[in-house]
């Protein structure tokens, strides 16, 4: 079952759950609308990898908002953002551990023959392609910087 199909099924279930599924329903509807907008703009049906990219973008937006809400002391918005992130992460693949990520980064560094920070432009796209939704760009960037010191 594709991610889009799973979102549709979960949306139907959230509608049936009424009050208990209200937040989940609104988050799923928002994500489906964003996926549809990307499909309309690109004039094509999105693959699962492209849907994952949209989901990751949504999670990133909420994590950024979460930081701002915490700075402002808005605990009710912090709680809502955390719930939304939890709902969205259900559709993302399991995140890589630091050891797994370090292994992938080291492998790519060896493949492209990177030795200095100037080679970061060669390493980052290759690592991002291999991790596809299983690691955050900031985490990858930090790991690459650490290995290319």
Q: Give the model confidence (pLDDT) of 94-104 as tens digits.
A: 888 888 888 89
Mind listing the domains of the chain with CATH numbers? 3-89 (1.10.1510.10), 98-147 (1.10.10.410)
Cα 85 to Cα 49: distance, rounded to the nearest angstrom: 19
Low-confidence ranges of the chain (pLDDT < 50): none
pLDDT of residue 41: 95
pLDDT of residue 94: 86
Cα 52 to Cα 49: distance, rounded to the nearest angstrom: 5
pLDDT of residue 15: 92
- pTM exceeding the 0.85 threshold for the entire prediction: no
CB atoms within 10 A of CB 122: 14
144, two tokens: 């690459």
């Amino acid at each position: 079952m594709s991610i889009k199909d799973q979102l549709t099924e979960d949306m139907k279930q959230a509608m049936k759950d009424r009050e208990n599924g209200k937040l989940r329903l609104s988050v799923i509807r928002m994500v489906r609308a964003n996926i549809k907008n990307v499909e309309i703009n690109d004039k094509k049906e999105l693959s699962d990898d492209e849907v994952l990219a949209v989901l990751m973008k949504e999670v990133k937006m909420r994590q950024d908002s979460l930081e701002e809400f915490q700075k402002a002391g808005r605990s009710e918005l912090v709680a809502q953002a955390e719930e939304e992130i939890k709902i969205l992460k259900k559709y993302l693949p399991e995140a890589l551990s630091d050891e797994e990520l370090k292994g992938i980064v080291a492998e790519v560094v060896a493949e492209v023959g990177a030795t200095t920070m100037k080679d970061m432009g060669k390493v980052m796209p290759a690592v991002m392609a291999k991790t596809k939704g299983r690691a955050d760009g900031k985490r990858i960037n930090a790991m690459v910087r650490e290995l290319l010191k």
